[in-house]
Structure 1
């Protein structure tokens, strides 16, 4: 049965998924890049940026799982770009260039309508103004029975989590303390939502934790 999953989501030890003071120049906030060291240098990440080679091992295993086997993706507006409010024009087409790493229909949650954008490599961005359940319904309709990834950011994951719509989550807990930023679990009772830890593995750069509602 297809699942709704969070995968490859990096967090600090104190539970922040992005640093403070996010900006167009610093989209992950101050020190936000430190959360993702486990991913940089893996074979999967190198392939995403058009490079060859890369590390194998545990981090690569989870990096590969974080992007493989999904029939659709759902992202918050901030994950698509730095523009706030209504679209000033149609020039912005995402952070990733002409060939984004999704290679599947990708649904962007927004309050401002926009026509779909067809990119190279099989990615089409669809802009959904009717909320998280509408986006999930559209994603299910095109996912071909494959899993759907809730790609972030923190606010988007929290909305789906609080609505009881996520089946499984993989977090990469970086050995970093941020102190402030976007908190993933504030006010959320994971056991009450049915989640248990079903998998864990540690490397130099992260402790990988998988939680599931089906354990």
Structure 2
């Protein structure tokens, strides 16, 4: 049976996954850049994994790629635009060959035609309810697991609905102070989860939540 998983979501000590004012020239908001304190562990782990090295961070990164057959993400993860699409030229942050290589379902209030990319990735833009999108992703995964890619709002919605089986959080030793928080406004949804792992590397602390 397919599991619904979240991996490599990095949060600051004060609970933020991004700063304020996310935009094209600052995808993670003010004061937060790719490769800085928040994501430097991921950059280093990617390099270690590519070189065949092991270690706590590289091992968690490798684990995140196993048995994933479809991905779900929010509009804000796909790109910086808000509201109706000015045009359909934006094809994501990842270039012509995105790293997914399977079907990706993008939650948006403004659907557009499916976008087929090199390497087997197809982006599907949908305003269907969570449960409908999840079932489409499960079907597309063909028996493999479904990954919820982010951002924070989409993860929150799936947590509140109790639809996530495993959530891997990475706690970075920094403070952001304002922006987009991950674990706010979850209500009773968070009651269905427990901490199953907490492992510290020299860079970050990996925490895994699973359904009770």
TM-score normalised by length of structure 1: 0.90
- 1:31 corresponds to: 31
Superposed CA offset, 1:83-130 (max 9, x none):
211122221111000111111100000111211111111111011111
Cα 1:151/1:202, change in 2 over 3 Å? same
CA distance in 2, matches of 1:192, 1:76: 20
Q: Quick one: distance in 2 between partners of 1:204 and 1:131? A: 40
Q: Counterparts of 1:156 and 1:45 in 2: how far apart (Å)?
A: 28
Per-residue Cα deviation, 1:28-78 (whole angstroms, up to 9, x for no partner):
112333311110122x4688xxxx537531111111122332110000001
Residues 1-40 of structure 1: pairs in structure 2 closer than 5 A = 1-33=1-33, 34-40=37-43
CA distance in 2: counterparts of 1:55 and 1:9, whole angstroms: 22
CA RMSD of aligned residues (A): 1.9
Answer whether contact 1:12 1:176 (CA < 8 A) is retained.
yes
Structure 2 residue ranges without an equivalent (≥5) = none
1:161 paired residue number: 159
So what's the TM-score if we normalise by structure 2?
A: 0.91
More divergent stretch after superposition (182-191 vs 152-161):
182-191
Distance 1:178 1:55, change over 3 A: farther
Q: State the Cα distance separating 1:189 from its structure 2 match.
A: 5.2
TM-fit CA distance, 1:187? 2.9
